[in-house]
Structure 1
Amino acid sequence: MKNNHSLIIGGGIVGATLALKLAQAKRPVTLVDATPERDKESWQQLLRQRDARVYALSLASINLLKAVGAWQNIQASGRKADYTQMQVWQLNGLGELLFGDSESHNNTAPILGSMVEPLVIEHALWQRLNDTDVSDYLTVIKGQKVVAMDWLGAHKGYQVNLENGERIIANLLIGADGRGSFVRKQAAIELDTLDYKQTAICCAIQTDKPHLTTARQAMLPTGTLALLPLADITDSDKAKPQHWQSVVWTLPRNQALALLEEEPRFIADKLAAASNYELGSINKIESIASFPLAAQQAKSYVSDNLVLIGDAAHGVHPLAGQGLNLGMLDVQALFEQLEHDYMRSGNKLWGSQQTLRTYERLRRPHNSLMMHSFSALNWLFAGTLAQTRPIQQIRSEGMYRVGKIKPLMRLFARQASGV
């Protein structure tokens, strides 16, 4: 039986990052993840393929990955696509917003963030989890599901039973196990949910025109269409760089499901037309997939000796690509609050109820604001009411005027960067 300061359930990006932060601070932590352990060869095989999905990592998320030593591995892999501009526009109406350096093709332009495939980030974190400098304080258990968790009282915390029969006792139980969180359900924490009745089609495309390190988002009557830079992987990619994009195309659910029945070439042509050929025609399309869109938030982020972070606590519309970034801000806030209160108590109180409530006050209102803001933007651009002339005029005039106020545009860019 293991006894720890902290037990993290869920070894995805958010859970692994927090585990590394705690281990670096010499706070004993165990990380349990249901995904089986992968060896070096398995990782290499997975990473040979291009993933259609990317995370739009903000500067704050990049800085956090640097702090835990994972960003260095991502840089070494070459599997990242920095972006220096963000372009937002609506097709049937006036108005365009352009964030960042207008000379986006200039290598000296400051970046707004970086597009990185999920598996690339996970691999970089996996490499760090196995490094000797954190091994004295970090225990990683892969391929094991949690089958039971019992609260033993405020002074002892939780006992967690794994499917192999192993039991772990921890002062603090941290749920980082995603939208369907077992930890959240076992703690009887309810959810506020919002079904957008939309489905996102994601894929990787090679376009005629280069992306010029610009992330693009078209606000269409059917939903948003994001064209996000992808890293160049093969030698042929690198010979003609900046032509691969990750697509997240939001459509009404029935329309999306019907389109997914079509041949890839048909989907590519429809996609190019939907973007108004912003990057020309689409030469190749790969890894077509889809997922339903819904927002959710836990009614509480904390319980006795228990706290939720990342998607276990909240999930937002992918409209601005901020889901993972919000989870990384959770990690930073929780770590700082745990450390601050532990030191203030003379190294006696770890994960006290006061500490967890402070974390919740810091993060839940901010995440709520982001969730409802994305929902409002989705409502403002997509759907029947959004296409009425008064709403179109309000959108067009608003985007035009906001785009002219440079200090406000810089403020928006800073907010998106998270720093």
Structure 2
Amino acid sequence: MATTTATQTLIIGGGIVGATLALKLAQQQQKVTLIDARPELSEAQWQDRLKQRDARVFALSIASIELLKEVGAWQLISQSGRKADYTQMQVWQQDGKGELNFGDEMVPQLLGSMVEPFVIEQALYQRMAADDVKEHLTLVAGHKVTMLDWLGSEQGYQVHLDNGDKLQGKLLIGADGRGSLVRREAGIGLDTLDYNQTAICCAIKTEKPHKATARQLMLPTGTLALLPLADVTEQDKANPQHWQSVVWSLPRNRALELLQLNQEGSPETADILRAELAAASQYALGDIEQLESIASFPLNAQQAKHYVKDNLVLVGDAAHGVHPLAGQGLNLGMLDVSALVDILNEDYQRSGGRCWGELATLRRYERTRRPHNSVMMHSFSLMNWLFAGDFAALRPVQQLRSEGMYRVGKIKPLMRFFTNKASGL
């Protein structure tokens, strides 16, 4: 029998951003319901997933780590050992002089941490069952949203699920990714930019250790990132720091050619793919000894024309998506979470607990986050344009880019500024 349940806040999308936001609100004793289309996993199912190494990894900034600490998830991630901290970052280009080196080799300081997506998700979902939040947080898993009804500014939204149940909340938050149903149902338009590139993602074991360094090589065909991965097996731990996550951005046709080699599945084609990748990396870490878990995704940037409407707000990829060359996509979403919670709570306290998610409050969030996200999105697009493609191949552009990287790399205060920005500080 279908039921209707009322709550203060409804969050659609149970990924990292949505789950973190739900926990943060619950910690402030706000009634929140999180709707995740994926079925809830048992402890055994989580453990089965943890046995596998995921080629994908999130480069968590210091700001994102602090937010995960606040909701109690980072402590669980640390205990699991499934993270790879990095204390240095190296960026260089194939066809020019100069490189950018972030971090101090003599006095190592944490710049961030590489963590596989499901490791973060497991920690967040463990926290949802904790006594300090479960009284205020309800998880609805394994059911898809079929329709949204706006009932007016006083009542908010009614959400229809595929099992016939209905949920009602004063505030509806869309944290449901790039293809956001919430954004579409709200009639919010989208600005998009197609890079005509595809990213190949895989896990590799290299001849030389990564030494807690994240590396990014700017190639004429796109960027190649080598990101430290946590050591999973006992064999890995006995010889640590050799596994890395690769994100290799290529023109779409070239990426398809390389992916076809992988699909053929013979040892010879696997050797070709490893050789291509090692050569593209300029053998920065020697030969590639193993290659696992190849995946791909098209590259584009997008931003919602508006982040808010009456009783509705977008966060994370539902609001914006950027080029992965700086690894800041999730970090921008986590900054959305921090800003939204602070602004919601500030106006709620100011009103004596009467006003929650008013349009004026939501617009303050939009004014805070949308300009910042726009600058980041266009900055990453500009970087991609300067290093990859026909324009980037022009000799004057190469010379200007090379001289610019060389000069910037010599200005220590400027490098510290860039480091702080990348850390979300």
Matches for 1:100-179 after TM superposition, within 5 Å: 100-103=103-106, 109-179=108-178
User: What residue in structure 1 maps to residue 87 of structure 2?
Assistant: 84
Q: Secondary structure at the residue paired with 2:59? A: strand
Amino acid at match of 1:157: G
Alignment partners' CA distance in 2, 1:239 and 1:318: 32
Please show how residues 235-314 of structure 1 align to structure 2 within 5 Å: 235-262=234-261, 263-314=269-320
Deviations 1:80-102 (A, max 9, x none): 00000010000111110000112
Deviations 1:142-172 (A, max 9, x none): 0010111100101110011111111111000
Per-residue Cα deviation, 1:307-334 (whole angstroms, up to 9, x for no partner) = 0000000000000000000000000000
- Pick from 73, 77, 82: which aligns with 1:74? 77
User: Is 1:338 aligned to residue 337 of structure 2?
Assistant: no
Alignment partners' CA distance in 2, 1:135 and 1:125: 12
Residues 277-298 of structure 1, C-alpha deviations (whole Å, 9 max, x = no match): 0000000000011100010000
3-state secondary structure, aligned to 1:20: helix
What is the distance in 1 between the residues matched to 2:143 and 2:13? 10
* C-alpha deviation, 1:264, in angstroms: 2.5
Q: Which amino acid aligns with 1:32?
A: I
Residue equivalent to 1:21: 24
Question: What secondary structure is seen at the aligned counterpart in 2 of 1:75?
Answer: helix
SS in 2 for 1:289: strand
1:247-286 Cα distance to aligned partner (Å, 9 max, x none): 0000000000011111322111100000110000000000
Q: For the residues of structure 1 that align with 2:113 and 2:158, how far apart are their CA atoms?
A: 39
Describe the SS at the equivalent of 2:405: helix
The alignment's C-alpha RMSD in Å is: 0.7
Q: Does 1:375 align with 2:381?
A: yes
Deviations 1:359-404 (A, max 9, x none): 0000000000000000000000000110111000111110010011
The one-letter amino acid paired with 2:36 is D
Amino acid at match of 2:308: V
Equivalences for 1:178-189 in 2 at 5 Å? Answer: 178-189=177-188
Q: Deviation per CA, 1:77-131, whole angstroms, max 9, x where unpaired?
A: 100000000100001111100001124xxxx621100000001001111111111
Task: Among all aligned residue pairs of Structure 1 and Structure 2, give the percentage whose two residues are the same amino acid.
Answer: 68
Partner of 2:265: none
Distance 2:40 2:23 in 1: 17
Aligned pairs for 1:379-390 (under 5 A) are 379-390=385-396
Residue in 1 aligned with 2:203?
A: 204
Structure 2 alignment gaps of length 5 or more = 262-268
Figure out how many residues of one structure are paired with residues of the other and give that number: 415
Query: For 1:273 and 1:238, how far apart are their aligned partners in 2?
Result: 27
**2:329 alignment partner in structure 1:** 323
Letter in 1 for 2:63: A
Cα distance in 2 for partners of 1:266, 1:41 equals 37
Is residue 5 of structure 1 aligned with residue 8 of structure 2?
Answer: yes
CA deviations on 1:221-257 (whole Å, 9 max, x unpaired) are 0000000000011111011100001000000000000
2:423 aligned with 1:417, yes or no?
yes
Residue in 1 aligned with 2:266?
Answer: none
Instruction: Answer yes or no: is 1:39 the counterpart of 2:45.
Output: no
Q: Does 1:63 align with 2:66?
A: yes
The DSSP-based 3-state class of the residue aligned with 1:127 is helix
2:193 match: secondary structure: strand
Q: Secondary structure at the match of 1:204?
A: strand
Quote the Cα distance in structure 2 between the aligned partners of 1:116 and 1:20: 19
The ranges of structure 1 where at least 4 consecutive aligned residues each deviate by more than 2 angstroms after the TM superposition are: none
The residue aligned with 2:264 is none
Q: 1:352 aligns with which of 327, 336, 358?
A: 358
Amino acid of the structure 2 residue aligned with 1:264? A
Matches of 2:66 and 2:271, distance apart in 1: 39
Unmatched 5+ stretches in structure 1: none
Provide TM-score, normalisation by structure 2.
Answer: 0.97
- Give 3-state SS (helix, strand or coil) of 1:110's partner: coil
**1:261 alignment partner, SS class:** helix
Q: How big is each residue's C-alpha offset from its partner over 1:189-236, in whole Å with a ceiling of 9 and x where there is no partner?
A: 010000000000000000011000000000000000000000011111
Output the amino acid matched with 1:342: Y
SS of the residue aligned with 1:11?
coil
